[in-house]
Amino acid sequence: MPLSKRLIGSHQIGSLLSHSNPPSPKRFKAAGALTGRIRVPGDKSISHRSIMLGALAVGETRVIGLLEGEDVLATAAAMRAMGASVERDEDATWRINGVGVGCLLQPDAALEMGNSGTSTRLLMGLVASHPITAMFTGDASLSKRPMGRVIDPLSQMGASFEASPGGTLPLMLRGISPAVPITYRLPVASAQVKSALLLAGLNTAGITRVIEPVPTRDHSERMLRGFGARLDVGEEIGANGPERVIAIHGEADLKPQDIVVPGDPSSAAFFVVAALLVEGSDLVIENVGLNPTRAALFDVLRDMGGNIEELDRRDVGGEPVADLRVRHSALSGISVDPAVVPAMVDEFPVLFVAAALAQGTTTTTGLEELRVKESDRISAMAAALALAGAKVEEQEDGLTIHGTGGNMLPGTPQDAEVTTHLDHRIAMAMAVAGLVSRNGVALDDTTPIATSFPTFEGLLAKASRTS
Ligand code: S3P
């Protein structure tokens, strides 16, 4: 009998096969300049980690500015199922009372991860070094994504797995305590894999080391230290140059924290590109996180000629933050350096839209990882932009886009819709394309937007109304 049928009930299998809400199609049209001031929700990566680490600290962690998107709520539900208390006050402060490292409880039912790869991979790390067994399930998009990248190193630490064919969800994880500390060199640049190992290392006696040939987002490192874990970051010379070595000392005692989550640069990205492209725009996006391991899109857009000004640069919760003032700009195509890919890995869908309106050709390479995100973002964006009338060529590791030189895109034909493949970033990127199109851009489904940016459509209406 297939694993999925043996381990979960048929009602749960149903939820894997389709998104839980009925599809909500919508056509996004030109609506005038974007002006005024907006504030995007809290950073998704930091929000997940706030709940997970809070759930492992003894005492009360308070979080202000938590992203209340479906992905983060999946993490909250999972941590509750493993014994932590995760509650929201009326003023939107979240209070997390943790169980202590090593004290997660056996969940009674499958952990439903919805669309969230970050919840899945990081929680697999946490469970791997606890003496508990957990079933992980997800929606149709998540159930296609590769989990072998975390299964391999966590198996070396002693955990065991029964996964669906191809190393996908649904999967059963049997954690182990004590687990074995390992040294692991990341074969793909992935903050999720790095973080899974660091979280597994928290409850593993000895030192767990992750070698990172290409630096990825460092929120786990910053936050683990903030919660009081001992973590050393050094450098070693590898075959292709310096590599980061991150060592976590196990059996840590985490101390509860007060956390203020900065605005998510990956969400701000859609408004930055929209304001650059729509004539007459002059928009301030407040409180945007500018951690250098996340913010490369803004540098690439400046290199293309984008007018993006940083106002009031400051520190929020240990992360650099600024308000971004963005004005309509004539953009030029460029060749994007593949070295910056990890620092803007989620921002390519919306960069492709900027490129489609630029003067000249933009080339991107080194984007293989985009094929295993919430959708295959290279082919999904190639198809979506072509449907909206852009000139796009697809390569194995990127797109080449010939821009309109600032002219509106034709938009999608009356009887056709962009397929969003349960991918929030395809939906939002193509919504931005709709703002600079003659006929608008029709999406087959806007419901995935709620995974990371539930207020997207409201903020878009607000920014367009103030003009
Ligand atoms: C994330 C890491 C990235 C990113 C994802 C969030 C994280 O994935 O795409 O949206 O919070 O660690 P990879 O590390 O797999 O590239």
Asked whether 440 and 411 are in contact (CB, 8 A), the reply is: yes
- Pairing verdict, β 168-174 and 391-395: unpaired
The residue behind tokens 């009674």 is 108
Please compute the mean of the pLDDT values over residues 62-71 and round it to a whole number.
98
DSSP string, 413-433: -TT--B--TT-HHHHHHHHHH
pLDDT band at 21 (very low <50, low <70, confident <90, very high): confident
The residue behind tokens 């460029």 is 334
Buried b (16+ CB within 10 A) or exposed e, 102-114: bebeebeebbbbb
- At 401, which helix (H) or strand (E)? strand 398-402
Asked whether 231 and 246 are in contact (CB, 8 A), the reply is: yes
DSSP string, 191-248: HHHHHHHHHHHHTSSSEEEEEESS----HHHHHHHHTT--EEEEEEEETTEEEEEEEE
Asked whether 26 and 443 are in contact (CB, 8 A), the reply is: yes
Q: State residue 186's pLDDT score.
A: 98
- CB-CB neighbours of 438 under 10 Å: 12
Q: State residue 20's pLDDT score.
A: 67
d(CA 77, CA 80): 5
Residue 15 pLDDT more than 70? no
137 strand-pairing partners: 112
Instruction: Kindly report the protein residue whose alpha carbon is nearest to atom 11 of ligand 1.
Output: 45
d(CA 125, CA 194): 9
pTM of the predicted structure, to 2 decimals: 0.96
How close is the Cα of 216 to the center of ligand 1, in Å?
9
The answer to whether residue 253 is catalytic is no
Reported in sequence order, the residue ranges of 45-182 that DSSP labels E, i.e. its strands, are 59-64, 85-88, 94-98, 111-112, 133-137, 160-164, 168-174
d(CA 335, CA 165): 38
- What percent of the chain lies above the pLDDT cut of 90? 93
Closest ligand 1 atom to residue 122 Cα is: 12
Q: State residue 294's pLDDT score.
A: 98
Asked whether 211 and 186 are in contact (CB, 8 A), the reply is: yes
Residue 13 pLDDT more than 60? no
d(CA 65, CA 51): 12
d(CA 314, CA 327): 22
Residue 11 pLDDT more than 80? no
Asked whether 243 and 213 are in contact (CB, 8 A), the reply is: yes
d(CA 312, CA 322): 6
Instruction: Kindly report the protein residue whose alpha carbon is nearest to atom 13 of ligand 1.
Output: 190
The residue behind tokens 């301030």 is 284
Listed in sequence order, the DSSP H helices in 304-359 are 348-357
Residue 5 pLDDT more than 80? no
How close is the Cα of 15 to the center of ligand 1, in Å?
24
Q: State residue 152's pLDDT score.
A: 98
Q: Residue 151's closest CA among 178, 172, 179?
A: 172
- Is the N-terminal amide bond of 170 cis, ω within 30° of 0? yes
What are the backbone dihedrals phi and psi of residue 211, each rounded to the nearest 5 degrees, phi first? -100, 125
Query: 47 CB contacts (<8 Å, ≥6 apart)?
Result: 63, 66, 67, 69, 72, 75, 261
Which residue among 190, 344, 368 is best mutated to probe the pocket of ligand 1, counting the most ligand atoms within 8 A of its Cβ? 190
- CB-CB neighbours of 314 under 10 Å: 12
Q: Residue 77's closest CA among 134, 7, 159?
A: 134
How close is the Cα of 232 to the center of ligand 1, in Å?
22
Angle at 408 between CA 448 and CA 296, to 5 degrees: 55
pLDDT band at 10 (very low <50, low <70, confident <90, very high): very low
Please compute the mean of the pLDDT values over residues 230-249 and round it to a whole number.
95
What are the backbone dihedrals phi and psi of residue 214, each rounded to the nearest 5 degrees, phi first? -125, 120
Protein residues whose CB sits closer than 6 Å to any atom of ligand 1: 45, 118, 190-192, 195, 216-217, 345-346, 369
d(CA 160, CA 146): 16
pLDDT band at 239 (very low <50, low <70, confident <90, very high): confident
Instruction: Identify which has the larger pLDDT, 251 or 466.
Output: 251
pLDDT band at 466 (very low <50, low <70, confident <90, very high): low
Instruction: Kindly report the protein residue whose alpha carbon is nearest to atom 10 of ligand 1.
Output: 346
The residue behind tokens 């539900």 is 77
Alpha-carbon torsion (298, 303, 307, 311), positive or negative: positive
How close is the Cα of 361 to the center of ligand 1, in Å?
28
Residue 71 pLDDT more than 70? yes
For 285-334, write each residue's pLDDT tens digit: 999 999 999 999 999 999 999 999 999 999 998 899 999 999 999 999 99
Mean pLDDT (the chain, rounded): 95
DSSP 105: P
Alpha carbon separation from 62 to 86, 259, 389 (Å, rounded): 10, 6, 48
For 342-384, write each residue's pLDDT tens digit: 999 999 999 999 999 999 999 999 999 999 999 999 999 999 9
